[in-house]
Chains A and B, each alone.
Chain A
């Protein structure tokens, strides 16, 4: 099953354990495809976070050692260019442009959303690019409360802040700041003697690359060498439910390497971001984000905001069966075309594309009947072609329909309706508390709080609501399903038999489509009692309105809840 927005983990068809390579990174996740099911099937069945086994960075830093300057000499003859992939001598670029990033981060508690987990530390790698920016992975800087950057052979800590972050493609740029003001400090000493690295092209398979970074922390930059093994569309585990072009290498990429440059011929050909653990049964398999994705990010943020990679809204299926091709009246000698199997609820796509359309070309790329294109000499999933465009662009398609080829210009935009199905970052959970009843929005992050076996313990109706309702029963789909996440015990709610993890259907007869409906529904209580109804069996609980509202301040005080209502982002409706 293919998609312009493939669930990349499913392409593997194997049980995998892939971790983003920040040391003790915030968003490490164990990804296994759904057992017994075919590829690209919702739901994602990720597991728990991978426990970090590596030590924290050493608190005391060694004294700085100034590099010695060579004496002036007669210029030596320029040697012949080394073969592609030959490592550069110690102390030359690009390692001077590679930095170590330390993050202090705090994640929210999605089941008790007024609370936060204990602060943690992690480290990763970054490198200087044009514009006084340091590029790294999004998962290195997710949830950060403080970023400190250390230069090559320089113990001095420099403070930084995130300028732009792209959680879908796991990239970020940060800038050095003046800690006194919190503002960007373009004149900082940090940049002295550092040269921004240039980006290179998509490397060829079998060519050599070198990673630069700080795996397992440490204070000395580390290098690993390998070849480009394969270039394919792969799962980006930081967000969990997206797949984009990625380069596989056997150069060791380990926790701590995240965000570091992968260099070929003195140029950055990628950003190291994830790898496999030995438990997966695969060895020497790491991945880096290629420059085509990096450029997409940098182009996106030129307007001062990151939009994201747009979505065509098409679920595609390979079209290799001869009978199906005959039924669709495709020429016998044609080997092109993937079939539109389903269309998401995106009005522009629904208006232009029909089920059983056959897409034979995306942009400049003919599409083979197995759903692949040839991208710079590599056979990759067709979604790689759609990922080249920016939010709001139009993609030219060649579409076979009813026995004829037609041209379709398909506008594409970023799709946000499924944000809750993947991992979310840097946006605090929404919640509302009434009489000690804690309501929050249903999300993968919430369900992971049930532990590693959440697929069994979270409640089947929650999984169905999050991953299947919009596909099977769009009339009853809710844009932001609400759950009763927990109950802060008080006399006013002590008799409730419904406990945590219950899907809310209605309050006072008002169907709850999103969290902002909850306070409105309670405010609409007629009489003395508010009635809350739950799915799937419509059981209900009653709470006395006056008692609940009188009890609120006590409850919030007892449990140190600062806000009754936390909804920082505007409603999607």
Chain B
């Protein structure tokens, strides 16, 4: 045989030996190679100034400024976390540690996912900057670098990945993946880049002691791609709660044969107005082909054991279907579960009220506000213990069509016509003039129909006082006087923003 021919044949034989049926090698997470990427050309320092609200005195505004970090990505965008961007008034960007700021604006923001992209019309800003590459998948062990600008110097600190887990998003009840990193870098959690080699693997979103939490780019990259292609519909979630099936007798009771597996559904229809296809006491056995174990986990091909909640956002968005295999009434069934969109108004006490002025109605000195978690957080970091119990207990209630919101008499601004009610506060409203108050805007309507010349306010049973009465003919004048006395610009703010009825 011609020896020159032998070599190609040998190589071909070698290739044939090592290639079975056609396969694509699974992508591997980036390893800790020495970086050749110049991160100083991708990390951006972001200054965000915005409005601060007072939910107890909802007509007041102050300001705040936060400093964040972001990473340049394709499309002249700077990827960062959404936290701190709500109600912003001015965004400024600084690159490469130099002293000049450029004005920025939000390109898109997803509070549920805690992600946002900032951009700028300043074309010169992008000169010299390089978009970072996002890793997908991400490593779940090994060393990382955490990068940010600090006093115009690029800080580059070491960290060690502890694990990938699934937990509530920083700004939402939605479950999302989270990288846990051990690092001594102080004061992070504002979008700092987490990198391995030349690739971005996460954005820091929180810190507790030496434990840094980062949003992994395996979660970010699909969202970024969908945002850029305008196919993103927002995060979905599983709108049912479940219990682990560690007590095998519970599964016996439900007549599920075989080894313990799956989780037992408890409550359903958390998404208001949507009838859930899941029933209480269904056993959820499989989601999109992933078996669910009795502890509520599935085996992720890249990230090993993860909580089933991760499957609500693993490459899927609101409105998409998940394939469920369930056990119901002694039979196995396949059902399609359509992911409902995660929205703050899904909860009776919304967790956040972003990008909107606080709503209120002022009537005769009575200040009415919608019950929300930002209102409860007015009681400080220990609000769960110190906010009025009955108000915070409403967090256990669901939104109902007949009551999508709870309205609170927050306080009474004293005036002679409301004497006797000075100590009324944090009292939940049931009706006004016989009109059920389902939401704040109903108050304006209800006050138009006094009863025999009196406005009758009825509060929920169990409140300290069930009823208060004001003279309807005195109310408008009293409101005007109170607004002047307490420097209140309008007698109501309702969203969507309405023209104030009375202005100072």
Say whether B388 contacts A37, CB under 8 Å.
Answer: yes
Chain A contacts of B280 at CB under 8 A? 538
User: Which residue from chain B places its CB closest to the CB of A495 in the assembled complex?
Assistant: B247
Chain B nearest Cβ from A261, distance in angstroms:
37
Given contacts A320-B420, A323-B469, A323-B470, contact A36 B247 (CB under 8 A): no
Chain B contacts of A342 at CB under 8 A? 461, 466
CA distance A319 to B385 in the complex (A): 32
Say whether A542 contacts B250, CB under 8 Å.
Answer: yes
CA distance A342 to B464 in the complex (A): 9
Say whether A539 contacts B384, CB under 8 Å.
Answer: no
User: Which residue from chain B places its CB closest to the CB of A326 in the assembled complex?
Assistant: B471
Asked if A544 lies at the interface with its beta carbon under 8 angstroms from chain B, I say yes
Chain B nearest Cβ from A473, distance in angstroms:
8
Q: Scan residues 117-144 of chain B and give those whose CB is less than 8 A from a CB of chain A.
A: none
User: Which residue from chain B places its CB closest to the CB of A531 in the assembled complex?
Assistant: B253
Partner pick for A327 among B379, B384, B418, B452, CB 8 A cutoff:
B452
> Residues of A with Cβ closer than 8 Å to B?
1, 34-43, 45, 317-324, 326-327, 341-342, 355-356, 453, 455-456, 460-461, 463-464, 468, 471-472, 495-497, 529, 531, 536-544
Q: Scan residues 169-195 of chain B and give those whose CB is less than 8 A from a CB of chain A.
A: none
Chain A contacts of B465 at CB under 8 A? 1, 38, 317, 341
> Residues of B with Cβ closer than 8 Å to A?
241, 243-244, 246-250, 252-253, 264, 266-267, 280, 379, 384-390, 392-393, 396, 417-421, 423-427, 452, 454, 456, 460-471, 474
Partner pick for B386 among A36, A495, A540, CB 8 A cutoff:
A36
Chain A contacts of B464 at CB under 8 A? 1, 37-41
CA distance A35 to B424 in the complex (A): 13
Chain A contacts of B241 at CB under 8 A? 537
CA distance A456 to B385 in the complex (A): 5
Say whether A36 contacts B246, CB under 8 Å.
Answer: no
Say whether A323 contacts B417, CB under 8 Å.
Answer: yes
Given contacts A529-B253, A531-B253, contact A43 B247 (CB under 8 A): no
User: Which residue from chain A places its CB closest to the CB of B423 in the assembled complex?
Assistant: A38
Chain A nearest Cβ from B337, distance in angstroms:
20
27 chain-A/chain-B pairs, Cβ below 8 angstroms: A35-B388, A36-B388, A37-B388, A37-B389, A37-B425, A38-B426, A40-B464, A41-B464, A321-B419, A322-B417, A323-B417, A342-B461, A455-B385, A455-B389, A460-B392, A460-B396, A464-B393, A464-B396, A495-B247, A495-B249, A537-B241, A538-B280, A539-B243, A539-B266, A542-B249, A542-B250, A542-B253
Partner pick for B461 among A45, A326, A472, A543, CB 8 A cutoff:
A472
CA distance A567 to B420 in the complex (A): 47
User: Which residue from chain A places its CB closest to the CB of B418 in the assembled complex?
Assistant: A321
Say whether B467 contacts A356, CB under 8 Å.
Answer: yes
Of A35, A321, A356, most buried by chain B (CB within 10 Å of CB) is: A321
CA distance A34 to B392 in the complex (A): 13
Chain B contacts of A1 at CB under 8 A? 464-465
User: Which residue from chain A places its CB closest to the CB of B425 in the assembled complex?
Assistant: A38
Chain A contacts of B463 at CB under 8 A? 41
User: Which residue from chain B places its CB closest to the CB of A339 in the assembled complex?
Assistant: B467
Say whether B420 contacts A318, CB under 8 Å.
Answer: yes
Say whether B469 contacts A472, CB under 8 Å.
Answer: no
CA distance A455 to B389 in the complex (A): 9
Q: Which 7 A-B pairs have the closest CB atoms?
A: A320-B420, A321-B420, A471-B462, A542-B249, A323-B471, A324-B469, A495-B247
Chain A contacts of B393 at CB under 8 A? 460, 463-464, 468
Say whether B249 contacts A323, CB under 8 Å.
Answer: no
Chain B contacts of A317 at CB under 8 A? 465, 467
Given contacts A531-B253, A541-B247, contact A355 B466 (CB under 8 A): yes
CA distance A496 to B252 in the complex (A): 14
Say whether B466 contacts A543, CB under 8 Å.
Answer: no
CA distance A1 to B427 in the complex (A): 13
CA distance A538 to B240 in the complex (A): 13
User: Which residue from chain B places its CB closest to the CB of A36 in the assembled complex?
Assistant: B388
Say whether B246 contacts A495, CB under 8 Å.
Answer: yes
User: Which residue from chain B places its CB closest to the CB of A40 in the assembled complex?
Assistant: B464
Given contacts A35-B386, A495-B246, contact A324 B468 (CB under 8 A): yes
User: Which residue from chain B places its CB closest to the CB of A541 in the assembled complex?
Assistant: B247
CA distance A460 to B247 in the complex (A): 25
Chain B nearest Cβ from A448, distance in angstroms:
15
Say whether B396 contacts A341, CB under 8 Å.
Answer: no
